[in-house]
Every structure is written in C-alpha cells, then in structure tokens.
C-alpha cells in the first residue's frame, strides 16, 4: 500500500513538473510574441479588407471604409512593443512593426500620415541595419518597404517629417520600440 501511495505521489509530482512552464529566454519570448502579432495582423488585414468592401458597397462612389487601417492594429502594435522590449535585436519584429505602421499610415485613398510613414521606414531600416541577423526574406521585404515609402508622392503625405519624433529623437534610430517611435 505504501508503495502504491509512493508511486502515486511520484506520478503526480512528475505530471505537475511536466505541466509547469519552463523558463524561456527573452529572445525566444520575443520570437513567440512576434509570431502571435503576425498572425493577428494577418487576420486584421483580412477584416479590414472586408470592412472596406462592405462600406463601399453600402455607399457606392464614396471613400467609405478607406481609413479602416488607421483604426485597426493597435493590439498588434502592443504585442510588437512587448516583443521588442524583450529583444530589441529581433529583426522580424522590426519588420512586422514596419508593415503595421505602413498600413496604419494610410488615411484613405491617396492620403498618408507622415509620422506613421517615418516610423515604418525607421523600423524597416532597423532590419536593414541588422542584416546579419535578418532572414533574406525579411531583409528583402524591409528594402521594398523603404523604397515603397520613398515613392509615395509628397502631395499624398499629410504633415512634414519635422513634426514627428518631437519628444524622442532617438526613435528614428530604429532601436526604439513601436510605441516610442510614434
């Protein structure tokens, strides 16, 4: 009977130990949170497109739904802030931040917020500067984002770059988190 009780205690302790989360490194935590943010961003992009489509269907000939990107993605930005706080060298998190900020910059057809564009460019540049740590696909996409932003006609951009980063000029160095950058 004592052997059975001892066996049961060991089995319970082993099961409890197996279910106890193991500590992970900050880099691994950052990687996991970035993956969650990417999945959420992809879902929200689909929802934004549906919202835009439905808004245009309900108000044909108008720009209804064009500013949806500026309303969404705050939760994604929060996750990426957390990921970059845990590991500022996470180039994929920087790339995702660039993608999200580029999407948020869109204020409607042919209108962009300068500060979001500057922040997106800065995050993409962080990937380019960290090329040794970035995947080839992330590096390529970061370069595409920088070029895409550079090719937006000045007449479609609201504001001027000097209006951005008033409180934290270090944010343009690409080392700041997403929230600090905007």
Q: What is the pLDDT of residue 99?
A: 96
36-55 pLDDT, tens digit each: 999 999 999 998 888 888 87
- Domain definitions of the chain by residue range: 25-181
For residue 58, pLDDT over 90 is answered with: no
Closest CA to 158 of 118, 96, 112, 122: 112
For residues 91 and 133, the answer to whether their CB atoms sit within 8 Å is yes
Highest mean predicted confidence (pLDDT) among 13-27, 69-83, 143-157: 143-157
Q: What is the pLDDT of residue 6?
A: 45
For residue 79, pLDDT over 50 is answered with: yes
């Amino acid at each position: 009977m004592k052997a059975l009780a001892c066996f049961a205690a060991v089995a319970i302790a082993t099961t409890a130990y197996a279910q106890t989360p193991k500590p992970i490194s900050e880099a691994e935590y950052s990687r996991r949170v970035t993956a969650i943010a990417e999945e959420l961003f992809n879902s929200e992009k689909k929802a934004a497109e549906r919202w835009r489509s439905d808004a245009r269907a309900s108000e044909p000939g108008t720009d209804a739904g064009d500013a949806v990107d500026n309303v969404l993605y705050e939760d994604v930005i929060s996750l990426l802030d957390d990921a970059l706080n845990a590991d500022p060298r996470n180039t994929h998190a920087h790339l995702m931040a660039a993608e999200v900020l580029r999407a948020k910059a869109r204020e409607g057809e042919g209108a962009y917020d300068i500060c979001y564009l500057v922040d997106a460019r800065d995050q993409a540049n962080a990937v380019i500067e960290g090329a040794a740590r970035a995947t080839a696909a992330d590096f390529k996409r970061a370069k595409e984002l920088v070029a895409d932003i550079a090719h937006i006609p000045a007449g479609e951009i609201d504001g001027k770059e000097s209006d951005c980063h008033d409180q934290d000029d270090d944010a343009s160095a690409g080392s700041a988190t997403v929230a600090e950058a905007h």
